[in-house]
Structure formats: C-alpha cells, structure tokens
C-alpha cells in the first residue's frame, strides 16, 4: 500500500500481489477520492520450531 502520486489512485493485482495507491487527496491536499477499506489476512510462511 502506498499513496503519494495523486493521479495514480486505485488498485491493481499483479500475480499474487495487490498494489494499492490509497492517496485520497488531490495535488492541493483536498480529499477527492473515497478511502480504501480492506481486511488483511495473515498467512504463516514458516513452521514453528520445536524447543
């Protein structure tokens, strides 16, 4: 998730990666886009080690 380039507001999925430009303000810092609302699901990528 990022949000600096005002004109690039939106989301695009490339493979398994979702790129989100969540900047809601225009170049004059006035809000002109709706906010993004999403749920992030955490996935374990490694197995826990045994003590």
Q: How many CB atoms lie within 10 A of CB 9?
A: 18
Place of tokens 């005002």: 6
Q: What is the reported pTM?
A: 0.59
Closest CA to 36 of 16, 14, 17, 11: 11
Region for 11 from its dihedrals, namely left if φ exceeds 0, alpha if ψ lies in -120 to 50, beta otherwise: beta
Closest CA to 24 of 6, 45, 47, 51: 6
Task: State pLDDT tens for residues 1-51.
Answer: 777 767 788 889 999 888 888 888 888 888 888 888 878 777 777 766 666
What confidence score (pLDDT) does residue 14 get?
93
């Amino acid at each position: 998730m990022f949000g600096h380039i005002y004109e690039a507001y939106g989301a695009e999925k490339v493979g398994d990666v979702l790129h989100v430009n969540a900047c809601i303000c225009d170049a004059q810092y006035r809000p002109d886009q709706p906010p993004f609302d999403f749920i992030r699901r955490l996935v374990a990528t490694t197995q826990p080690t045994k003590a």
